[in-house]
Amino acid sequence: MEVEFNGKNLDDFFIKTAKGDEDMTENNAKMHVLADETLGGIKREYVEVDRKAEVGEKIITVESCKEFEVGEVFTVTECNRWYDGTGISVYETGIGLYHHEYRALKPTDIVHIDGQRYEMADRKAKVGEKVIITRKLDCCMLDTKIGSSYEVVRLVEGTNGDVNVIDDTDEEATALFGGYSVLVPVEAESDEPLPSDLIDVVSNLAARVADLERVNKKLRAALDEDMKIRSENTRRYLALKDEIDTLHKDNRTLGEELARLKEPAKIDDILDAPFVLVLHEGRGKFDVYRHGKKLKEIAEVEIEVQADMNTKVRIGHFPGDWLV
């Protein structure tokens, strides 16, 4: 027998009372609104729990590293990543996390449907109430979807809580007790941590911040790489500039040397050499100068160039009569 008090079902009251301490703990914990794939992807409230996660549970990171940022949500696939009880594996990326790097996310009974918060109550439904399909227990529920909500149009007599709803084909279908939960609207109370819309906003902002942190991390990495490339290009430019400057200097020096070689030698410079042989037109006519002074009556000059490029000069008035 169902008993009501002030228009509310007492079953709901006792359900909440039985969970009193647990709910108080969850109200003080961090709340997250995430899609629950087990209920067709509808939004459900989760609370952070500081314990080791189990396979299939969701987790949220509380530390960051090169593989993830704070606030990322993953699904656990393995509870003993390194076979020493220190970490887990996750489905989305296949990476491993140590237990201190995350918090387990425990699903609450609060779901969000069309902007309204509802608590899922495991009791028999009444006509006019909304129920959410949680499991398909019989073929009579084929035209209903898990995670979808339906209004109860009548009770099935002779059953222990089965109800009829209008399914997705606009026909009556039976929802078996144990395959649905009653959706009880959650009234906004002063002692509640956050209203439904604000929870959504905070959750969306947290997800957005995590996305921005990932983008910022990629941009920082790209900037560092760009700075390395710019530094290397600057180094190469300066080295090339030094090389070009050296080539210009060498070219200028060679030009000056070439110009100097093209200039005709001055007679005074020539005559100041240790020995100068001046040949005149006509066979056998020559003059010899030594340190700028002309030697007279020179009949013979012999010049010997040795293998070591040293040169010997012999001068005489008569053949065989050498002055030097």
Q: Return per-residue pLDDT of the chain as tens, 324 residues.
A: 444 444 445 455 444 444 444 443 444 568 999 999 999 999 999 999 999 999 999 999 999 999 999 999 999 999 999 999 999 999 999 999 999 999 999 999 999 999 899 999 999 999 999 999 999 988 888 889 999 999 999 999 999 999 999 999 999 999 999 999 999 999 865 445 555 567 777 878 888 888 898 889 889 888 988 899 999 999 999 999 999 989 988 888 888 888 877 776 555 555 456 667 777 766 567 777 777 677 776 767 676 666 665 666 566 655 545 444
Q: What is the pLDDT of residue 26?
A: 44
The rounded radius of gyration (Å) of the Cα atoms in the chain is 51
Q: What is the pLDDT of residue 15?
A: 43
Please tell me the distance from the alpha carbon of residue 42 to that of residue 130, in angstroms, as a whole number: 15
Q: Is the dihedral of CA 51, 52, 58, 61 positive or negative?
A: positive
Residue type, 213: E
Residue type, 287: D
Write out the two tokens for 177.
């007790």
Please tell me the distance from the alpha carbon of residue 225 to that of residue 258, in angstroms, as a whole number: 49
Q: What is the pLDDT of residue 273?
A: 60
Please tell me the distance from the alpha carbon of residue 224 to that of residue 218, in angstroms, as a whole number: 10
Q: Which residues contact 28 (CB under 8 A, 6 or more apart)?
A: none
Residue type, 128: G
65-81 residues labelled b (16+ CB within 10 A) or e (exposed): eeebbebbbbebeeeeb
Please tell me the distance from the alpha carbon of residue 253 to that of residue 270, in angstroms, as a whole number: 24
Q: What is the pLDDT of residue 119?
A: 97
Q: What are phi and psi of 78, to 5 degrees?
A: -150, 140
Yes or no: say if 108 and 47 are a contact pair by the CB < 8 Å rule: yes
Nearest to 150 by CA among 164, 136, 137, 139: 164
Q: What is the pLDDT of residue 72?
A: 95
Please tell me the distance from the alpha carbon of residue 171 to that of residue 32, in angstroms, as a whole number: 36
Q: What is the pLDDT of residue 1?
A: 44
Yes or no: say if 173 and 152 are a contact pair by the CB < 8 Å rule: no
